[in-house]
Structure 1
Amino acid sequence: MTTTDPFGRAIRDFHRGEQDEPLIDRDGATTRDHPIEEFYFGEFDPESDAGAWRASWLDGPLLDMGAGRDALYFQERFETVAIEPSAHLVATMRERGVRDARVGDMFALRETFDRDRFGSALAIGTQVGLAGSMQGLRRFLGDLAFVTTPDASAVLDGYDPDWEGEDLLGYRSDPTPGLAHRVLHFEYGDEVGETLHFRLFSPDRVREAAVGTGWSVAEVRTDAGYYRLALTKA
């Protein structure tokens, strides 16, 4: 069975100037147009406060587990490998100039890379939530520790479910402190993607999940419910 990929196809079409319909985020009757240009085609700014902070935690070789926008900057400074499960997104990354873009699953790192392969890792886009559970997050962090060096660092991001102003499409509350859910799917033209279930973890829950994986949370930056955190090897 062929898996649909409206998300990747829409971003590819935008890059090629062929997008004639919006990419839609949908949760039931609630929809929004996905901000493709803002999220995926802005340039990484190392002079900005956020960019300088992110760059300060990263070194090569770097594993970029996102859509490859930042790989364009970091590959000029050290070896950078960008992975994405979408073949459309990998094609887009290559067309944009990412030199080492591969189809790959961030939740299958041990099967893909050797031990100690990378000096740092980057996952910007809140896709860590697709780990699905605290156990899944622990497994991911353990696998990330396996493929990174003993002195490695990593930068991840997410939405904090404890933020009282949370107004996120697809948001579902959870009675457990520091945890919530997000459920949505993408639509592009007549193509409908699979339902995605994100588990939302507060920074404290990430700290908890990191225990025993080799990682510890070194720093957290928050902005109205969205956070980025730096991990170092414990």
Structure 2
Amino acid sequence: MSDPFAQALHDFHFDEMLGPLVYRRGEETEEVGIEFYFDVIDGDGSWLEPYLDGPLLDMGAGAGRHALYFQEQFETVAIEQNEQLVEVLRDRGVKDARQVNMFNLQETFEENRFKSAIALGTQVSLSRSMQGLTQFLDDLAYVTRPNATAIIDGYDPEKEETKSKLDYYTDRSDGLAYRLLQMEYDGMLGEPWLYRLFTPERFRDATNTTDWEIVEVRYATENLYQLALEKQ
């Protein structure tokens, strides 16, 4: 199925937008701003920068705002699963952009390939379940070196700002919820994306049987947290 998100970012970058990108829930819609995907990142002095070193894996790199900054510091590999977004990454100047599904890391990269990794954009929630999250963390451990670090973010399902999202669905389990995100662009309705939302505490539960440990939790906004993980 076509990807309205990738198509909209592609068209925005090449100045060919054909209308707004919107979230849809039945007949309800909400317009999505995409300009921030093209922001210029200045990471100098950022809290996360001391955690990162090359080679760095940027998972779900979007339009490359983080990759463009970090590739000037050390080797950075940016991955996206949609070829249109890879085209955007390369056209914007990302030196090493590849079409890769971030949930197929072991099939793509050799063991111990990276020293650090980032997934900024809440896309780790696409792991869909606690079991899926643990599997993703195991795969990430395989492609990273001993004492590697990772920065991952997510929406806290217990915060009111998250609950107010158009695509939010509650769950009976403590610390968990869902988003069922469906996008539409230029008459193109995409396949729904199922996000499993975890509180930082539930995310920590998922790390218990993995090589990762959460060493810092910060909130970038009222409901968007950022986790620093270290590989033990």
TM bin (shorter chain): over 0.9
> Where in structure 2 are the equivalents of 1:198-217 lying within 5 Å?
198-217=195-214
* Aligned residues with identical type, % of pairs: 52
**1:54 counterpart letter in structure 2:** L
> Where in structure 2 are the equivalents of 1:1-234 lying within 5 Å?
3-38=1-36, 40-47=37-44, 52-66=46-60, 67=62, 68-165=64-161, 166-222=163-219, 223-234=221-232
**1:99 counterpart letter in structure 2:** K
| Deviation per residue, 1:172-231 (Å, 9 max, x gap) | 011111100001211111211101110001101111101121001010112311101100
Cα shift at 1:29: 2.4
Distance 1:143 1:25 in 2: 31
**2:191 counterpart letter in structure 1:** E
**2:209 counterpart letter in structure 1:** G
Q: How many residues align?
A: 228
Structure 1 unmatched ranges of 5 or more: none
| Deviation per residue, 1:114-142 (Å, 9 max, x gap) | 00000000001111111000000000000
Distance 1:172 1:150 in 2: 38
Cα shift at 1:170: 0.5
Distance 1:46 1:114 in 2: 28
Distance 2:122 2:5 in 1: 15
Cα shift at 1:30: 2.3
**2:172 counterpart letter in structure 1:** P
RMSD of Structure 2 on Structure 1 (CA):
1.1
| Deviation per residue, 1:146-195 (Å, 9 max, x gap) | 00001100000001112244322200011111100001211111211101
Structure 2 unmatched ranges of 5 or more: none
Cα shift at 1:47: 4.3
Distance 1:80 1:197 in 2: 28
| Deviation per residue, 1:70-110 (Å, 9 max, x gap) | 00000011100000011110000000000100100110000
**1:114 counterpart letter in structure 2:** E
Distance 1:41 1:54 in 2: 20
TM-score normalised according to structure 2 size: 0.95
Cα shift at 1:45: 2.0
Other structure's SS at 1:153 match: strand
Structure 1, 218-227 or 135-144: larger mean CA deviation = 218-227
Other structure's SS at 2:194 match: strand
TM-score normalised according to structure 1 size: 0.94
Distance 1:191 1:163 in 2: 31
Distance 1:57 1:69 in 2: 18
**2:88 counterpart letter in structure 1:** T
Cα shift at 1:5: 1.3
Cα shift at 1:6: 1.1
Distance 1:27 1:128 in 2: 22
